A and B are shown apart, each in its own frame.
Chain A
Amino acid sequence: MRSGEGADLILRRATVLDPVAGIEGVHDVVVRAGRIVELAAPGAELDGAEEVDAEGLHAFPAFFDPHVHLRVPGHEHKEDIETGSRAAAAGGYCGILAMANTVPPVSTPADVEALREAARGAASMPVGFLATVTRGMEGEELTEMGALRDAGAVGFSDDGLPIRSARLLRRALQYQRLCGGTIALHEEDPELSGDGVMHEGPVSASLGLAGIPSVSESTTIARDAALARYEGGRIHVQHLSAAESVEAVRAARAAGVRISCEASPHHLCLTDEEVRSLDPQRFKMNPPLRSEADRQALVEGLRDGTIECIATDHAPHAREEKEVPFEQAAMGVTGLETAFAALHTELVLPGTIDLGLLVERLAGGAAPFDLERPTLAPGSEANIALCDLAAEWTVGEEGYESRSDNSWCAGRKLTGRVLMTLAGGQVAYRLRSFSLGVA
């Protein structure tokens, strides 16, 4: 629950890193009334505030996740606004965007208003809501995009399903010119995916599981990029998984299309080899985990900026929806609480990417929706993730903030942990064993 009052505290001797703002060094981070007022020299004479001994700890701009499933309304047994935003806070996030594929889907202005009202009471951080592109996500008619924007919808997405009809997407892109709002796209050709449950390749061949070919994603991206180019529309490609898709986005951008895209931590860290375990709890999601070559192409895309942000596609599911044979299990894994730690462990520590790049991409999810990027620059609202890069922990050992436990990291030992999160100027999270010292 947000109190409405901004935090007053000082992070003493924090190692501050905000590559976008060009900030790097050891500072006392001074937060007053919820704003960063100063990055002072360590040990500066300051008083009247709680102090946090941050020596040896890193302060980053808090992260922003443009792709989260809060499951409200309809599937509160999986997650709700309170548990989902708490999970985000525990992962170092200061803002999240909730997808609209709820039951019923978020398709009317009243739906958006009700969710925003609920979030005011229940969320531990700012939460934005997307509305569907098509009414009821049925792929037949457009929603009232203008009225939805007026009601506060951040953007539009039928995520969970692709927009099958090119005509309908074209109309949405035309309508976007009147009302704005980035259209976020789940790119998949249902005809090519068929009844697939994992990446099509040698592993699916050996397991006898129906495959989802990479071209199911990349051909749809190519189609939609062509439509966006034709209409001058603004699109955001969700959860990129295949090398061909990175190529398609790169080509579209080179051609001048207004396109952005995201990749998820699980696609950046894992491959379809994991599916040999036939464990749907951790390894069944859509798009599926793909080959090592695909994973490397995603990392390269992250490095060269083709992929400007990391999004978890946090998709909670109840036990009984996952404790079934792989083919029958629900698609999706949770990821908010582990994104930073997992990527730090799997990509930064081995030297694959820099810490600075990771921090930049984890906060990169705001820009595609024309929202303000979290920053540590003095004068800004306090959105800070305070992390201990040396802390080792085993995921799930102490439970989860999320209502669901289908974490792809379950049981993994990770290095790096979020100790405290400031979101929207308030303390949204602190690890139970991490307490504030008083000056």
Chain B
Amino acid sequence: MKHLLAIEDLGRGEIEAILDRAESFAEVGRRDIKKVPTLRGRTVVSLFYESSTRTSASFELAAKRLSADLISLKAAGSSVDKGESLKDTCATLSAYDPAAIVIRHPYAGAAQLVAGWTEAAVVNAGDGKHEHPSQALLDLFTLRRRLDSLDGKRIWIVGDVLHSRVARSNLSTFRAMGAEVTVCGPPALIPRGIEQLGCEVAHSLDRLQEADVVYALRLQRERMAESFVPSIREYAARFQIDSRRLGPRQLLMHPGPVNRGVELSGEAIDSPQSLIGEQVAAGLVVRMAILYELLAVGGERPAPAAGEDALSPTPIGQPA
């Protein structure tokens, strides 16, 4: 694995290797000293052209936990503000010889372009409405801890599928792991032709009870202005996941940030079925695992420094 650009690039085996690795980092996370020296002396660039809280925070913390040097750039306040093209920014950053570039960009295919312009491993941290592979992996990690297997499980992705990169990446991931996926929302927010990606389409929550997992998506308030939904109230009345609609044995997920009272009711968020907090925690260890797989396993491995064994968790100290 040279880059992580799209979930389709990964086989089931590679997905599982990342999740297994993440489990071992979860164990490191329970120690007093949570840092391992794996990426000491290597540089990770975090390049965010869109605002982000959990994705940028968890990737940056993941790089630090792996002892990498981190350059963190946000579009606002950088040369991008001054009109520099993505290609030129990429050339500039390449001069620092980064081992990895983690990029979030408002347009589809940006990470793929960067991968063609740099020697570094490129991690797609969200490109437009296209893909968000690390989110899909952390969601899968979260689910795997609750369910033995996704084979034959029914997962409903509910809400603004049209504008959601999370929906697209998760649809492919869940299907790759054997789940049956239904996407549900008002017709204007379900992309035309999506059933050809191998999912069912529903326009009401009437059959929601058949779902083992309910994955709700964020509804941005500006969708109302664009007439995708007539009003937030109309949307919530038909598509909000609340305690009445959510069954006791169903699992509830959401990529965050949640619009409390829009796509999810407050009670649903705080219910025992909700895995939202676990998803955030999974974000850190899964992103550590992604950087590890790309840089320590996939890329060349730095010589072990003195004392590394004492700090490394057992599975990591062994040859990969």
Closest chain B CB from A60 CB (angstroms): 40
Whether A205 lies near B109 (C-beta < 8 A) is no
Task: Determine the chain B residues whose CB is within 8 A of the CB of A328 once the complex forms.
Answer: 107
Partner of A208, one of B105, B112, B113, B128: B128
**8 Å CB interface, B92-132 against A:** 105, 107-110, 112-113, 127-131
Does A304 make an interface contact (CB < 8 A)? Answer: no
Task: Determine the chain A residues whose CB is within 8 A of the CB of B191 once the complex forms.
Answer: 204-205, 211
| Contact mask for chain A residues 30-56; partner B; CB cutoff 8 A; 1 contact, 0 none | 000000000000000000000000000
Chain-A contact segment, one of B35-43, B50-58, B192-200, B207-215: B192-200
Given contacts A206-B168, A208-B168, A209-B108, contact A325 B192 (CB under 8 A): no
Does A323 make an interface contact (CB < 8 A)? Answer: yes
Whether A209 lies near B192 (C-beta < 8 A) is no
Whether B108 lies near A278 (C-beta < 8 A) is yes
Whether B107 lies near A325 (C-beta < 8 A) is yes
Query: CA of A323 to CA of B105 in the docked complex: distance in angstroms?
Result: 15
Whether A325 lies near B108 (C-beta < 8 A) is yes
Does B231 make an interface contact (CB < 8 A)? Answer: no
Query: CA of A205 to CA of B168 in the docked complex: distance in angstroms?
Result: 8
Does A202 make an interface contact (CB < 8 A)? Answer: yes
Task: Determine the chain A residues whose CB is within 8 A of the CB of B192 once the complex forms.
Answer: 200-202, 204-205, 211, 213
Whether A208 lies near B129 (C-beta < 8 A) is yes
**8 Å CB interface, A204-230 against B:** 204-211, 213
Whether A325 lies near B193 (C-beta < 8 A) is no
**8 Å CB interface, B15-70 against A:** none
Does A429 make an interface contact (CB < 8 A)? Answer: no
Given contacts A202-B196, A206-B168, A278-B109, contact A323 B87 (CB under 8 A): yes
Query: CA of A213 to CA of B192 in the docked complex: distance in angstroms?
Result: 10
Closest chain A CB from B186 CB (angstroms): 16
Partner of B107, one of A204, A320, A326: A326
Pick the most buried of B85, B127, B128: most chain A CB atoms within 10 A of its CB: B128
Query: CA of A155 to CA of B85 in the docked complex: distance in angstroms?
Result: 39
Task: Determine the chain A residues whose CB is within 8 A of the CB of B112 once the complex forms.
Answer: 278
Does A390 make an interface contact (CB < 8 A)? Answer: no
Given contacts A205-B192, A209-B129, contact A325 B113 (CB under 8 A): yes
Task: Determine the chain A residues whose CB is within 8 A of the CB of B127 once the complex forms.
Answer: 325
CB-nearest residue of chain A to B130 = A208
Does B3 make an interface contact (CB < 8 A)? Answer: no
Does A147 make an interface contact (CB < 8 A)? Answer: no
Query: CA of A319 to CA of B87 in the docked complex: distance in angstroms?
Result: 12
CB-nearest residue of chain B to A291 = B193
Task: Determine the chain B residues whose CB is within 8 A of the CB of A207 once the complex forms.
Answer: 108, 130
Closest chain A CB from B180 CB (angstroms): 18
Whether B107 lies near A327 (C-beta < 8 A) is yes
Closest chain B CB from A212 CB (angstroms): 11
Task: Determine the chain A residues whose CB is within 8 A of the CB of B105 once the complex forms.
Answer: 325
Does B86 make an interface contact (CB < 8 A)? Answer: yes
Whether B128 lies near A325 (C-beta < 8 A) is yes
Task: Determine the chain A residues whose CB is within 8 A of the CB of B107 once the complex forms.
Answer: 324-328
Whether A209 lies near B130 (C-beta < 8 A) is yes
Given contacts A208-B131, A324-B85, A325-B113, contact A201 B108 (CB under 8 A): no
Whether A205 lies near B87 (C-beta < 8 A) is no
Query: CA of A201 to CA of B112 in the docked complex: distance in angstroms?
Result: 22
Query: CA of A211 to CA of B191 in the docked complex: distance in angstroms?
Result: 9
Query: CA of A320 to CA of B197 in the docked complex: distance in angstroms?
Result: 33
Whether B128 lies near A327 (C-beta < 8 A) is yes
Task: Determine the chain B residues whose CB is within 8 A of the CB of A203 once the complex forms.
Answer: 193
CB-nearest residue of chain A to B169 = A208
CB-nearest residue of chain B to A325 = B107
Closest chain B CB from A118 CB (angstroms): 32
CB-nearest residue of chain B to A205 = B191
Query: CA of A208 to CA of B105 in the docked complex: distance in angstroms?
Result: 13
CB-nearest residue of chain A to B193 = A202
CB-nearest residue of chain A to B192 = A200
Task: Determine the chain A residues whose CB is within 8 A of the CB of B165 once the complex forms.
Answer: 208
Whether A208 lies near B193 (C-beta < 8 A) is no
Query: CA of A200 to CA of B192 in the docked complex: distance in angstroms?
Result: 7
Query: CA of A328 to CA of B129 in the docked complex: distance in angstroms?
Result: 14
Query: CA of A384 to CA of B90 in the docked complex: distance in angstroms?
Result: 49
Closest chain A CB from B127 CB (angstroms): 8
Task: Determine the chain B residues whose CB is within 8 A of the CB of A213 once the complex forms.
Answer: 192
| Contact mask for chain B residues 165-202; partner A; CB cutoff 8 A; 1 contact, 0 none | 10010000000000000000000000111101100000
Whether B129 lies near A202 (C-beta < 8 A) is no
Partner of A205, one of B108, B113, B193: B193
Partner of B110, one of A200, A202, A210, A325: A325
Task: Determine the chain A residues whose CB is within 8 A of the CB of B109 once the complex forms.
Answer: 278, 325-326
Closest chain B CB from A161 CB (angstroms): 22
Whether A202 lies near B194 (C-beta < 8 A) is yes
Known contacts A202-B193, A208-B168, A209-B130, then 15 further A-B pairs from the complex at CB < 8 Å, ordered by chain A residue: A200-B192, A202-B194, A205-B196, A206-B168, A206-B197, A207-B108, A208-B108, A208-B128, A208-B131, A208-B164, A278-B112, A324-B85, A325-B86, A326-B107, A326-B108
Chosen A-B contacts, 29 in total, with CB atoms closer than 8 Å, are A200-B193, A201-B192, A202-B193, A202-B196, A202-B197, A205-B191, A205-B193, A205-B196, A206-B168, A206-B194, A208-B108, A208-B128, A208-B165, A209-B108, A209-B128, A209-B129, A210-B129, A211-B191, A278-B108, A320-B85, A323-B87, A324-B85, A325-B86, A325-B110, A325-B128, A326-B108, A326-B109, A327-B128, A328-B107
The 4 closest A-B pairs by CB, nearest first: A208-B129, A202-B193, A205-B191, A278-B109
* Chain A interface (Cβ < 8 Å from any Cβ of B): 200-211, 213, 278, 320, 323-328
